[in-house]
Amino acid sequence: RRDPLVLFMPSGKRGRFVAGTQVLDAARQLGVYVESVCGGRATCGRCQISVQEGNFAKHGIVSSVDHLSEAGPKEERYDRVRGLPEGRRLSCSAQILGDLVIDVPQDTVINAQVVRKAADERVFDRNPAVRMCYVEVEEPDMEKPLGDLDRLKVALATDWHFDDVEVDFHITPQVQQILRKGEWKVTAAIHKDREDERPRLIALYPGLKNEAYGIACDIGSTTIAMHLSSLLSGRTVASAGTSNPQIRFGEDLMSRVSYVMMNPDGRGAMTDAVREALNGLIDKVCAEGDISREDILDSVFVGNPIMHHLFLGIDPTELGGAPFALAVSGAVEVKSSEIGLPMNAGTRTYLLPCIAGHVGADAAAATLSEGPHRQDEMMLLVDIGTNAEIVLGNRARVVAASSPTGPAFEGAEISSGQRAAPGAIERVRIDAVTLEPRFRVIGVEPWSDEPGFGEAAAQIGVTGICGSAIIEVIAEMYLSGIISEDGVVDGAMAARSSRILENGRTFSYLLHDGTPRITVTQNDVRAIQLAKAALYAGVKLLMDKQGVSHLDRIGLAGAFGTFIDPKYAMVLGLIPDCDLDKVKAVGNAAGTGARMCLLNRDYRREIEETVRKIEKIETALEPKFQEHFVAAMALPNKVDAFPNLG
Ligand code: FES
């Protein structure tokens, strides 16, 4: 007779086990991550699984709950006291009796924890760097002079196979009190990020501590976004965002570097500003998740190189000019309290590696999230801010570059440009016959030609155009013939519509005749042409390096990518031709990558390895850049065709 076959979902890992094997043991042997805090004592409830019933012919398995042993007394007691949800079993108690398809739920919600679905609630395999380990420590004995802390270490080695645990010193003075308070039963938070490093005791709690949290954060130059996740269930329990207070020192990255160069206290002031904002966000997510800062035991941060350096308190001056030297490009691990983020005294902060002087840990995190290096398709990943970070590749090879798009896409350098905020025009359509526009304003429900618009707009005020709408309005102007392929606003159109205004030697388009008057000027069109040509030229360089003329997939990351309509991005030639269905906004991919590294240390190794292999292209040094740039000034492009625009 053959041994029962067990298939774990969603990982798909499988193996045969002798009948009577505990499900938790089987999972461990196969490397399937099943959480356990109590170490199999059937008290924490973290190891829940369920059985998928049915005939899984494809796998040669007929799975049934009857193939699990009956609940033993410990499991029954847990069910009585804490309640097991319908269909759930404790994997530390249930034994395998026959073939099984086992579901490892990712949502083990216990302690009535309020869980809110985050905007992007992807489920990841988990293997956090911090584990909660309940142990029962031998009581002191006059015959055996081993210290309390040393007996705790013995228990951790025996029950959890954490040998030779290093101890954060802040725990040593408290250990006796905690052990006695817990009556020799304690939960140790063990931090072990790398296989070859010693496990480290970073926090200690009396009794069973059945919860631990971590934060993942993307420090953008404009916006900072933070998520609070349970390290034990993987769920995001709170999210918060704020604008980066460094904006008061400089709108874009280079002006912040100049601020540091020109002001002796500039670096310190900007480091303080960002850390203060981060502390504010930590308070916010803790309040929303109803936890204390002390409960945060791990943290992961990403950001572009300049944000990364300023956050760590490193002078970013070297990043202001060639050769754009990073102080550190590899992943960084530091005690959070050392960088002004007090959480638990033992909490560590992990920063993903930077790819190059202008392609940061945020691009690395976005790469990890979207995984060009895991697929056969040739994928382009673009994050457009004041600088575009571009990654292109597939399983065989990944290349990366940044391109100096400038802040035009964010609404700076545009006469009526502004950041996306209430009052900003966010969508635009232009009638090709009458040249009349209709538009939509952030914070105002109806479109400009719908009833109720006037009143609603009067309350908020129509103040400008945000970055994504600038792309739309210029694309619409091009599609309706107001601007030529060279980007010139056609003055002859003034005869057809009073919307075309003469502006000295050039012409502009009147989008909204209010206070302020919102127009798109010839200079605005030029600024967007320059920005999009820089972006496109950067992408083309990477395509040359890869030797490809066609892209299978495009991911547009960041806030800009979320709001921009791919069709308009292609009409203007921001991005190369691609099947429109394959052009996707990937949201805050950098934040998602940070969350992956928080919940699974294997992702940290994956991105460290990937970044080591990514080839960095310095656009400024490539002679072809200029050629591509000139061709890309035209709408949509002088040489390249866009068959997918039809
Ligand atoms: Fe704690 Fe099973 S491991 S209940």
Domain of 604, CATH number, reads: 3.30.420
The arithmetic mean of pLDDT across residues 51-71, rounded, is 93
Is residue 567 assigned to a domain?
A: yes
Do 527 and 563 form a contact (C-beta atoms < 8 A)? no
Interacting residues of 90 by C-beta distance below 8 A, sequence separation 6+? 42, 45, 47, 48, 71, 74, 75, 78, 84
Domain CATH for 304: 3.30.420.480
pLDDT for 336 beyond 80: yes
Do 334 and 349 form a contact (C-beta atoms < 8 A)? yes
Do 282 and 298 form a contact (C-beta atoms < 8 A)? no
Instruction: Give the span between the Cα atoms of 314 and 260, in whole angstroms.
Output: 11
Ligand 1 contact, 40 CB (< 6 A): yes
Domain CATH for 98: 3.10.20.30
458, two tokens: 């009067």
User: Domain check: are 507 and 441 in the same one?
Assistant: yes
**AA letter at 123:** V
Instruction: Give the span between the Cα atoms of 600 and 496, in whole angstroms.
Output: 61
User: Domain check: are 232 and 347 in the same one?
Assistant: yes
Ligand 1 contact, 38 CB (< 6 A): yes
User: Domain check: are 488 and 540 in the same one?
Assistant: no
177, two tokens: 């009190």
Instruction: Indicate the average pLDDT of the chain.
Output: 91
User: Domain check: are 142 and 37 in the same one?
Assistant: no
Instruction: Give the span between the Cα atoms of 90 and 24, in whole angstroms.
Output: 8
Interacting residues of 419 by C-beta distance below 8 A, sequence separation 6+? 222, 410, 411, 466, 467
**AA letter at 501:** L
User: Domain check: are 392 and 536 in the same one?
Assistant: yes
Give 22's DSSP letter.
Answer: B
67 phi/psi in degrees, rounded to 5: -80, 5
Is residue 120 assigned to a domain?
A: no
User: Domain check: are 400 and 540 in the same one?
Assistant: yes
Return the pLDDT at 565: 85
Closest atom of ligand 1 to 45 CA is 4
Exposed/middle/buried for residue 502 (C-beta within 10 Å: 0-12, 13-18, 19+): exposed
CA of 44 to the centre of ligand 1 (A): 5
Return the pLDDT at 107: 58
Count CB neighbours of 75 within 10 A: 18
Task: Report the domain count for the chain.
Answer: 5
Which value, in Å, is the radius of gyration of the alpha carbons in the chain? 28
Ligand 1 contact, 34 CB (< 6 A): no
Is residue 297 assigned to a domain?
A: yes
Do 304 and 253 form a contact (C-beta atoms < 8 A)? yes
Q: Which span out of 229-243, 323-337, 628-642 was modeled with the highest average pLDDT? A: 323-337
The arithmetic mean of pLDDT across residues 620-628, rounded, is 90
Which of the residue ranges 119-123, 153-157, 238-242, 379-383 would you say has the lowest mean pLDDT?
Answer: 119-123
Is residue 112 assigned to a domain?
A: no
Going across the sheet that includes 348-351, the strands are: 236-243, 223-230, 213-219, 296-303, 348-351, 332-335
157 phi/psi in degrees, rounded to 5: -70, -40
Dihedral angle sign, alpha carbons of residues 493, 494, 499, 502? positive
pLDDT for 111 beyond 60: no
Ligand 1 contact, 23 CB (< 6 A): no
pLDDT for 68 beyond 90: yes
pLDDT for 194 beyond 90: yes
**AA letter at 323:** P
CA of 289 to the centre of ligand 1 (A): 24
Exposed/middle/buried for residue 162 (C-beta within 10 Å: 0-12, 13-18, 19+): buried
For residue 533, what is the enclosing H or E element?
A: helix 522-546
496, two tokens: 């057809």
pTM above the 0.90 mark?
Answer: no
480, two tokens: 């309706």
Is residue 464 assigned to a domain?
A: yes
Domain CATH for 197: 3.10.20.880
- Reported as a single tens digit per residue, the pLDDT across 503-536 is 889 999 999 998 899 999 999 999 999 999 999 9
pLDDT more than 90, % of the chain: 77
User: Domain check: are 459 and 491 in the same one?
Assistant: yes
CA of 604 to the centre of ligand 1 (A): 27
The arithmetic mean of pLDDT across residues 115-129, rounded, is 62
Ligand 1 contact, 293 CB (< 6 A): no
Ligand 1 contact, 45 CB (< 6 A): yes
pLDDT for 112 beyond 60: no
Nearest CA to 372 out of 125, 582, 559 is that of 582
User: Domain check: are 192 and 230 in the same one?
Assistant: no
- Reported as a single tens digit per residue, the pLDDT across 297-322 is 999 999 999 999 999 999 999 998 88
The DSSP bridge pattern shows strands 200-206 and 185-191 to be antiparallel
How is 368-395 classified by DSSP, letter by letter? HHH-GGG-SS-EEEEEESSSEEEEEE-S
Ligand 1 contact, 430 CB (< 6 A): no
pLDDT for 154 beyond 70: yes
pLDDT for 125 beyond 80: no
Last residue of a domain, one of 495, 520, 545: 520
User: Domain check: are 220 and 186 in the same one?
Assistant: no
Range of the domain at 438: 416-520
Ligand 1 contact, 94 CB (< 6 A): no
Instruction: Give the span between the Cα atoms of 147 and 282, in whole angstroms.
Output: 37
User: Helices (H), strands (E): how many in the chain?
Assistant: 16, 29
Ligand 1 contact, 90 CB (< 6 A): yes
The pLDDT confidence band at residue 354, using thresholds 50, 70 and 90, is very high
Exposed/middle/buried for residue 451 (C-beta within 10 Å: 0-12, 13-18, 19+): exposed
Nearest CA to 556 out of 546, 569, 537 is that of 569
Return the pLDDT at 113: 30
Return the pLDDT at 621: 83
CA of 3 to the centre of ligand 1 (A): 25
**AA letter at 223:** T
Return the pLDDT at 135: 97
The arithmetic mean of pLDDT across residues 470-480, rounded, is 94
Mutual orientation of helices 589-599 and 361-370 as an angle, nearest 10°?
A: 80
User: Domain check: are 508 and 440 in the same one?
Assistant: yes
Instruction: Give the span between the Cα atoms of 559 and 384, in whole angstroms.
Output: 9
Is residue 118 assigned to a domain?
A: no
User: Domain check: are 192 and 232 in the same one?
Assistant: no
330, two tokens: 């590899």
CA triple 499-500-502, angle to 5 deg? 130
Closest atom of ligand 1 to 47 CA is 2
The arithmetic mean of pLDDT across residues 51-67, rounded, is 92
User: Domain check: are 345 and 369 in the same one?
Assistant: no
Give me the residue label for tokens 């600088």: 387
Return the pLDDT at 585: 86
Do 377 and 553 form a contact (C-beta atoms < 8 A)? yes
Q: Give the N- to C-terminal CA distance of the chain in Å, as an integer.
A: 63
Return the pLDDT at 246: 93
Give whole-number Cα distances, 256 to 218, 247, 323, 330, 533, in Å.
18, 8, 18, 23, 24
- Reported as a single tens digit per residue, the pLDDT across 363-390 is 999 999 999 999 999 999 998 877 889 9
pLDDT for 167 beyond 80: yes
Closest atom of ligand 1 to 38 CA is 1
The DSSP bridge pattern shows strands 553-557 and 379-384 to be parallel
The pLDDT confidence band at residue 291, using thresholds 50, 70 and 90, is very high
Return the pLDDT at 121: 56
Give whole-number Cα distances, 56 to 60, 63, 91, 97, 279, in Å.
6, 7, 21, 17, 50
Return the pLDDT at 122: 65
Ligand 1 contact, 159 CB (< 6 A): no
Is residue 200 assigned to a domain?
A: yes
